[in-house]
Amino acid sequence: KNQVEQSPQSLIILEGKNCTLQCNYTVSPFSNLRWYKQDTGRGPVSLTIMTFSENTKSNGRYTATLDADTKQSSLHITASQLSDSASYICVVSAMGAGNMLTFGGGTRLMVKP
């Protein structure tokens, strides 16, 4: 069964600090991995997407890494801002009919002043 596990479930950090979110997956056959940011009551918005051959991808203060051998990914947020408070969702896509997406449960990040 395809699964995506994220940790921690929730995280509180002070503004300006860095943090790293983790994602482990068992999706097969693997196609790509995405990190999404979801503000409360809104639809998710893509931050990064990585294929099998990519180890790291940056988007401003967000840097995602992928280890396809251990099936792990991380999202590092640098110099956090209050607007970073949101849920961060790891999504893994499998090859095949419909190119199904498997979603992690998300990490709820709260940045405090």
What is the contact surface with other proteins in residues (CB under 8 A)?
A: 31-32, 34, 41-46, 49, 51, 89, 91, 93, 95, 97-101, 103-106, 108
Q: Nearer Cβ to other proteins, position 8 or 105? A: 105
Q: Nearer Cβ to other proteins, position 4 or 111? A: 4
Least spacing, CB of residue 3 vs other proteins, in Å: 11
Least spacing, CB of residue 16 vs other proteins, in Å: 27
Count Cβ atoms below 10 Å from residue 36 Cβ, excluding itself.
21
Of the candidates 110, 112, 92, the one whose C-alpha atom is nearest the C-alpha of residue 102 is 92
3-state secondary structure 16-48: CCCEEEEEEECCCCEEEEEEEEECCCCCCEEEE
Q: Nearer Cβ to other proteins, position 13 or 49? A: 49
Query: Is the CB of residue 35 less than 8 Å from the CB of residue 44?
Result: no
Least spacing, CB of residue 28 vs other proteins, in Å: 13
